[in-house]
Amino acid sequence: MAQAYMEETGNPNDGASEAERPGPGPRRLFGGRWRGDRDIWRRGIVLGGFAVLIALLMLFHAQIPNRIGNLGSLTETFLPWLGMIGIPVILLFGLLRRSATALIALLLPLIVWLNLFGGLLTDKTNSGGNLTVATHNVNADNPDPVGTAKDVASSGAQVLALEEIPSGKVSTYENALAATYPYHSVQGTVGLWSKYPMTNTRSVDIQMGWTRAMRSTVATPAGKVAVFVAHMPSVRVKLDAGFTASQRDASADALGHAIAADTTGKTILLGDLNGTMNDRSLNAITSQMRSTQGAAGNGFGFSWPASFPMARIDQILVKGVKPMSSWTLPKTDSDHLPIAARVQI
């Protein structure tokens, strides 16, 4: 009976309104649009070219010369964003253009990006550790230095470094942190606060003409560790000069030599390096130290600018010390985010 009725009436959906009829599934719709389209290989050749270019820039970033406006260092500072922006944009336009060429070419930058940065997407945080350290560029124009000092102290760090402390605000930070840290030293515009005794504290010459780096031996319950604090010279991007980083590069070399010459055996560097771990110009430092974020963090840990972090230029690097975890702290009134790490001495 039912079969006879179907034969007489035809398709049961014929009488339904267009809105009521089941539409084609996404797979069928997508396949229908692409199937039989002879131009899917000819369209999007330019998009495919951009995909290959992005892959080559990421793969051979070390070969981009610094002779012209420090272009290599500029590229390396924002290297992750070549893929984080370029890949989704090409994917979107490749789909809109229905270009098989662009989508297949997109696999190349995707594979390169995952090879370079895929490890940062996994959570490498470990439990344990016997020393928590933190660092923060507090910003010379910070409208609330007391609040900023208390915010970073509440992180629980036993050792805290601050950079860009204006001379007129030194006592303000000292008073705000006195109850938490019985030991401290301020050298020029950088300072170190500690819950454990500090000895052999001195400034470090990084070829700037004034003090923006220091070191101290901190006697933790697990053993002595040399702690360096540094604020590398600022960098700028100018149309007429490119990426102006020459002074920073010279300071990085000087700091790298000072760290290499230290005989303590266990070393932690805290500070604003105005550069990322990818930047070749920091090689004097990064070649001998590990990033706590790369070894024990979760994600990229971008720290600047605080309003929309795009680069990790604030660093906690270690040598002879095992990183256990690394994270960014909540925003303060500075233009940088504070960062912290837990390590095993």
Confidence (pLDDT) at 5: 43
The Cα–Cα gap between 218 and 131 comes to: 11
Given pLDDT bands bounded at 50, 70 and 90, which one contains residue 7? very low
Q: What is the pLDDT of residues 166-191, one digit of tens each?
A: 999 999 999 999 999 999 999 999 99
Residue 303's Cβ-side half-sphere holds a number of Cα atoms within 13 Å equal to 28
Q: How confident is the model at residue 196 (pLDDT cuts 50, 70, 90)?
A: very high
Distance CA(18)–CA(100), nearest Å, equals 32
Over the stretch 51-86, which tens digit does the pLDDT of each residue have? 999 999 999 999 999 887 788 888 999 999 999 999
- The pLDDT assigned to 26 comes to 43
- What does the block give as tokens for 119? 């490890």
What string of DSSP letters covers 38-98?
Answer: TTTTTTTHHHHHHHHHHHHHHHTGGGS-STTTTHHHHHHHTHHHHHHHHHHHHHHHHHHHT
| pLDDT computed for residue 40 by the predictor | 85
Q: How confident is the model at residue 39 (pLDDT cuts 50, 70, 90)?
A: confident
Residue range 279-312, pLDDT digits in tens:
999 999 999 999 999 999 999 999 999 999 999 9
pLDDT reported for residue 27 = 46
The secondary element (H helix, E strand) that includes residue 128 is none
CA distance 273 to 230: 7
105-129 tens-digit pLDDT: 999 999 999 999 999 999 999 999 9
pLDDT over 90 at 323, yes or no: yes
pLDDT reading at 219 higher than 70: yes
Question: What homologous superfamily does CATH list for 131-344?
Answer: Endonuclease/exonuclease/phosphatase (3.60.10.10)
